[in-house]
Structure 1
Amino acid sequence: MIVSSFFPGRIRLRDEVFKDNDIFSALYSAVGSHSAVKKIERNEKTGSVLVEYIPENLPMEKLLALKDELLSLGKLAESYNKKNKPIILEKIQEIEKKLK
């Protein structure tokens, strides 16, 4: 998983794993549940996900605290297949819990 752009208020992630509807739905639900998130868009063809949020409502400290979880998710995404899909979905749930 690549963070292709990141600055306060906007994060773009890219990976083939986001082409999977179940995984994108889980990510959408997990990230979209935070009150700071304004919009989540996916480009299914490229596997790109754009998250726009209100930076004042989602401090950088909270995002930095998620760094290890996101790196772990990225490692799982590198070997994405039907067999590890449940593990990826579990990791997204862990991220959701830490966002709250």
Structure 2
Amino acid sequence: MSERPKLDKGLNGETFRNYYYLKKESMDFCRKNNRPVSGSKVELADRIEYFLNTGKILQGSVKRISAIIANSSRYRKNHYREICGTTRCGCI
């Protein structure tokens, strides 16, 4: 198995999602890059993935974030279960 890459701005969102990062690591990354650090680990991961892919800040509620990400063809369906507990909720 390959070594986990360091979480930094040079990483792309897909690679980030393929590895496990602690919430503390995610929060440290957000602080270092002047990104919001509040929310659950899933919310942080969504924000980080969006930032790594676009260079922009993803803001809003979990429902708004998941709606934005739902429009991304790269987003994997199982992440909806992590956010909402179902794939048939009103947020997608």
Tell me the TM-score range normalised by the shorter chain.
under 0.3
The structure carrying a bigger strand percent of its residues is 1
The alignment's TM-score, normalised by the length of structure 2, stands at 0.27
What's the TM-score once normalised by structure 1's chain length? Answer: 0.26
**Greater relative contact order: 1 or 2 (C-alpha under 8 angstroms, separation 6 or more)?**
1
